[in-house]
Structure formats: C-alpha cells, structure tokens
Chain A
Amino acid sequence: MSASLIYTIITISSLGVAAAIILYFTARKFYVYEDPRIDEVEEALPAANCGGCGYAGCRAFAEAIVKDNSLDDKFCPVGGNDVMKTVAEIMGLEAGDQKARIAVLRCNGTCEFRPKTNHYEGATTCAIAAMNYGGETGCQYGCLGFGDCVDACDFDALHMDPETGLPVVTDENCVGCGACVEACPKDLFELRKKMPKYRRVYVACRNEDKGGVAKKSCEVACIGCGKCEQECKYDAITITNNLAFIDSDKCVLCRKCVSVCPTNAIIEENFPPRKIKVEKEAQPAES
C-alpha cells in the first residue's frame, strides 16, 4: 500500500518537474516583448468591451493608444474624461477634454401618431425589415420598432416601450458608446451633448419628405417649415432636405423652438413639470 503511494508521488512529481521544464523553455523561446504600458492602460479602462471607442475592445484600444503614442481621436465614452486623464498620465500625454454624450432617438412616430399601412411578417430585426422596404407605416425614415438598438446596448440603457412601439433611453445608464447609432438601419440615434439633469431639446424626426407628404404619414413629423430656424437666436437650428436639426453643441435649451413648432416635432425632455408657470413667466418677458 505504502509502496504504491510512494510510486504515485514520485511519478506525479517527476511529471510535474518535466512539464515545468518544458514550459519554461517554451516560454523563453516564444517570448514576445510587450509594452508594459498596454497593461497599465487596459487596467485604467472600464473593461466594458463595448466598442464605443471604435476599437474591438478595451485591450485593442489600449494597444492602439500605446502604438500610436497619442490620444488624438481616441476617447473612451464609458469612462469619460476621468478615465482619459488617468490614461494620459500613464502615457505622459495631454488628455483632450471631450464632452459626455447621450443617445437620443430622433423619431416620435408612435402607433398613435403614425398609422400602420401594412403588416410585416418577416424576420423580426430592423436590419432585415429595412432591407426589404420602408417600414410598416407611410414614413420610410422612421423607427421600425424591432429593437436592434436594444440588442446592441451593452449597458441596459434601452428598452422597447410596448405602448408606443419605440425604444426608450434610460438616461442614467447611457454611456454614449454609440452602439445603438451603429445598429439602427434608419440612423435614428444621435449622440447629443449631455446637459445637466439630462435636459435636452431635439427634433424627434428624420423625415425628409416634403411637408404635406410627411404630415400625412405621421402627425408629429417635421415638415421643414423653418419656424424654429427663425426663432432660434443661437444659430443652433438648420434645415436641410425639409428637416430641421438642432445642434446640441450650440443649443442653450431656451425651448423657444418647442413652442413654435406646428407639428410638435421638437421635443423637450426632463425639464421641470411646471409648464404653465414657465409660460406665464415667459410671456411678460417677450411682450
């Protein structure tokens, strides 16, 4: 009994030693030098591997930073400026200051506003539906409602609202990685500047049809009338192809455009719910 125990111990130990020797020499032979800063940078990154930076993952991003030895055009939307500062310290570089961004859906074509004109039965992804035709409604620019964006979101910041048939962004969770922007075949998501308390004013429409046609397919479509453009004092609004666009870097959230829009295509979000008071205060100031 004890003899077999001893033999076992000897066999296993010598196997272990032999393996260790082989491993040692293999590791020596195939050793590849790697910049230690890659590991350091990777350590500093949030490890979300979301691809929001445009690279395949945090490791690839770290490798790219070290390889290029610069931080130009490189930004981690999840970690934001804090993380980029840490990375800059590791690299001995200067970090650029980028503003945090948040995704917004530029379509408000709910079931109520945008009647269905046909019934889709194909594979239920937006990408495939978009390949076949303009969508279940008369608007070929609007949300298809199959939730490719929800599947793309790694941060649980998007879910479909069954009542409206549109995706909803959970502000607190959105890191602005841009996965939804990539996923949406209709290009409905936009990364806008993150404002205090997640306040924002934007045109919730992408319809480039002429006013009458757009209005016919969706009640809240932007008809490109240009009233908001005239109203805006900050040059934040431009109209191209019958469609208004508010530049979030110029917008100061005055909300004047919201009140002039004849189709309610411009949306304000997360402002205090004291609308009547606000209007009362605003009126004497204008007159």
Chain B
Amino acid sequence: MLKTFKIGGVHPAENKITATKAVVKLPIPKTVTIPVTQHIGAPSKVIVKRGDVVKTGQIIAQSSGFVSTNIHSSVSGKVLKIDTVYDSSGYKKESVVINTEQDEWDEGVDTSPDLIKHTDLDAKTITNKILDAGIVGLGGATFPTHVKLSPPPGMKAEVLLINGVECEPYLTADHRLMLERGDELMVGIMLLMKALGVNRAVIGIERNKPDAIEHLTTLTKNYEGIEICPLKVKYPQGGEKQLIKAITGREVPSGALPIAVGAVVNNVGTALAVYEAVMKNKPLIERIVTVTGKSLSKPSNFLVRIGTPVKDLIEAAGGLPDDTAKVISGGPMMGKAVATIDIPVTKGTSGILILNENEGHRKPVLNCIRCGRCVEVCPMGLEPYFLMTLSEKKVWDKAEKEQIMDCIECGSCSFTCPANRPLLDYIRYGKLTVGGIIRSRK
C-alpha cells in the first residue's frame, strides 16, 4: 500500500499533457511588469524611481516586515513607470514597469551552469541569503521561505518535507524540474536541511510520475539524509497538512502550523531557488511555468522571467485558441481565473491553463440533495454543505465553531457536488469574514 492521507480527497482527471515536454527558455520580453505584492504578507517597498537604470537581479523593492520579502528586477534596462497594473488577483497592484535594454546581470551573480555542491556557510547566513534573494514558496501559496526557516522559539523542526506531489491536474512544472534539475534540487534540499538544522529530508512524489521517482531515487545515493517517498495519486496531497499526514502520519492540529508536529514543508521549486540563491547568488527572478490546455496547439513548459506578460507565454504556446472560455493562473483546482491576459507572470504563477467553451463554464445550480459527498471528500473532515449555508445566512459564530477556518480551499467539495452548488465560493467568503472577526477580537 502506498502512503497517502486518510480523510477525504478526490481524483480529478490528470490531463498532464505537458509531462514529456522539456522546459524551454523563453526569450527575454521587451518590457516586464513586476508587482510589489507577489507574496503573502506586507507589500514590498519600491526603492527605484522612474528613469532609473537597473540590472538583472538588482533589488527594486525591499522587504517591509518579517513576513515580506525583496523583489528584484528580472531584466536589465530602464524603469519606465511605477503604476498600478492588474495582476492575477483581479485587482490593480502597484508595479514597477521596466523597459528591457539588454541582459546585464548584477555583480556577484554566477550565471555559469556548473554545479556547486559544497559550502561552508552556516544556517543563519543561508537563511539571510534566502531572504535577500526574495524566495517565496513556489508551489503557489507564495509564503516567504525565510519565515518557514525561522521556527518560533521553543519549536524545533525534526524533518524537512519536500513537496514534489504536484497534485493539481494539468500542471507539470515541478515534474519537469525534478527530471531536469535533479542535482541542483538535491543541493538545494541539503541547504534547507542545514538552515533548519535537521538531518532528514523526504521528497514526496505521487506515483503518476514514475520517471521522477526513479531519477531522484538514483540521485539520493549521493546525498546523505534525503529519501524519496512515493505516494498514491490523490488530490489535495500537495496541501501542506495532507502531505505531512501522508508521509509522517502526523496530523497538524487545527489552527496550528506544521512546525507543531516538527515538520517544515517546501516545494521542489523553492528548493531549486534556494540552491541558486545560496550557491550562485542568483535571486528569484525566473520560474518554470506550465502553459497548457486541451485546445492549445503547443502546450509547453517554459522557463520565464518574472514580469513577463502572460500573453507572451500563450503566444509562445501557439496563441490563444478561438474557443477559449477561461484563462486560469495556476491549476484547475485552486488557480484563479483571470479577466485579461495582459497580466504579468509572478512568483506564484505555476501554470497558465486555457479551458475551452466545453470545460470552462459552470452548470446551473440545483437544490442540495444532501448526498453528503462534499462531507465525504473534504480532506479536513469538515461539512462543506453546512458551512456554505452558515455563510449564506451569515451565522458567523456558528461557522467559527464548525471550524470554517480549517478549510484549505482545495475545492474538492465544489468539484464533487452533483448539484453544482458553489460550496467553496461561500465558504471562502465565510472564511474571510470569520477571519476578520477573529482578528478584530484580539
């Protein structure tokens, strides 16, 4: 029996169209738009102004608090303007727009492809380098990584879990990364282990990526303390709490952080970024993005600079098909539908998914037939139908008691509902409101 988490879960059609497509490096765009809020936490503070000349990798916005991070220019050129621009959130965000001139890197960045394996840096220095490089969780949640590496006093990490699950259908960015950048990934994991002071790391990979499991298992022979854990295919296994449960069998208590059970989870993409930041002094200015969809003529995995217009990516993948109904930033289960393709790639953009007219629309909402499937599939053991009703009727105190804040917004409930009810829509609204009430109480 392969390991997996116990409660709930669904198995959407995988549709990993791009699994065999090697990562292609996209040419540097003419202009990049870099929003200052690409992470969870306080927006970074812009430190350049219009007309400034910046180099690739130079800091353009500084961390403005503990839960915040730096943002770097992804090209070299001139700052055209600082403006508010739509990003994938659907709201206008302050952004730095840079006109590319050439690709001149900031001093000290090692752009050679050589693998560097050893370093004498101590844990503190590694964490600081990660903060300087602006690294955030690249799985999509974009939580600043240095915060995860600094456990609160009295808590100690025991094991580092590396998330190579990629349970979202369609997306293959992490899969390709594990296949093509295995060694760098391993060094990155060693660095994270050092920063945390743990001597064991486990990479969780779902069984539908046998080539990645095999490849990394061979590599682990050269790296002490890293293991591979193949997992059963089940969504949302990439959720932090589900992954910890699947690999270690421990359940993170309601409302607590993973560190409460001695685990720290990082995405494979993050580990690679850590390698580049620490060993090569290269800040987080590019990432792998899967551009996919059934009607797309050339679905691909691209390595792109942060700030590249999504439009360019879609062009490179064969152009926007005529029957497009929806463009999604991220995967189909948790990604965000965007209103326009004139938005930039940010640190959290793991994929661009194009859904056609057949797939991209919601069906009419019917009465709840109380089949209980939402309860069955909820990986947090909640009762989505009930939470939806409570949110609809605005019974916030009861919703809080029913642990609405535990919802991880994986969307399994809405996915499975035979009556097409917008369960997660309402639960998310409830979470937002209840969260506000809890904060105001403090």
What chain B residues lie within 8 Å of A132 (beta carbons)? Answer: 90, 336-337
Render B72-96 as a binary contact track against A, CB cut-off 8 A, 1 for contact. Answer: 0000000000001010011110000
Q: Determine whether B45 belongs to the interface, using a CB cutoff of 8 Å to chain A.
A: no
Chain A nearest CB from B81 CB (Å) reads 11
Interface size on A, residues (CB 8 A): 14
What chain B residues lie within 8 Å of A276 (beta carbons)? Answer: none
Q: Determine whether A122 belongs to the interface, using a CB cutoff of 8 Å to chain B.
A: yes
Q: Determine whether A121 belongs to the interface, using a CB cutoff of 8 Å to chain B.
A: yes
Contact A123 B90 (CB under 8 A): no
Which of B86, B89, B361, B429 has the most CB atoms of chain A within a 10 A radius of its CB?
B429
Give the contacting residue for A128; candidates B92, B337, B340, B425; CB below 8 A: B425
Report the bound CA distance from A117 to B340 in whole Å: 8
How many A-B pairs fall under 8 Å by CB? 41
Q: Determine whether B442 belongs to the interface, using a CB cutoff of 8 Å to chain A.
A: no
Render A127-144 as a binary contact track against B, CB cut-off 8 A, 1 for contact. Answer: 110011110000010000
Contact B428 A121 (CB under 8 A): no
Report the bound CA distance from A117 to B362 in whole Å: 19
What chain A residues lie within 8 Å of B422 (beta carbons)? Answer: 122-123, 128
Q: Determine whether B116 belongs to the interface, using a CB cutoff of 8 Å to chain A.
A: no
Report the bound CA distance from A128 to B422 in whole Å: 10
Contact A123 B425 (CB under 8 A): yes
Contact B429 A121 (CB under 8 A): no
Chain B nearest CB from A252 CB (Å) reads 36
Contact B339 A128 (CB under 8 A): no
Q: Determine whether A118 belongs to the interface, using a CB cutoff of 8 Å to chain B.
A: yes
Contact B92 A134 (CB under 8 A): yes
Given contacts A118-B340, A121-B361, A122-B422, contact A134 B91 (CB under 8 A): yes
Given contacts A122-B362, A125-B429, A131-B432, 4 further A-B pairs with CB under 8 A are: A123-B429, A132-B90, A134-B339, A140-B90
Give 28 CB contacts A-B under 8 Å: A117-B340, A118-B339, A118-B340, A121-B361, A121-B362, A122-B362, A122-B422, A123-B422, A123-B425, A123-B426, A123-B429, A125-B429, A128-B425, A128-B428, A128-B429, A131-B428, A131-B429, A131-B432, A132-B90, A132-B336, A132-B337, A133-B91, A133-B339, A134-B86, A134-B90, A134-B91, A134-B92, A209-B92
B→A interface (CB under 8 Å): 84, 86, 89-92, 336-337, 339-340, 361-362, 422, 425-426, 428-429, 432
Please list the 7 inter-chain residue pairs (A to B) with the smallest Cβ-Cβ separation, ordered nearest first. A133-B90, A123-B425, A118-B339, A123-B422, A121-B362, A128-B425, A128-B429
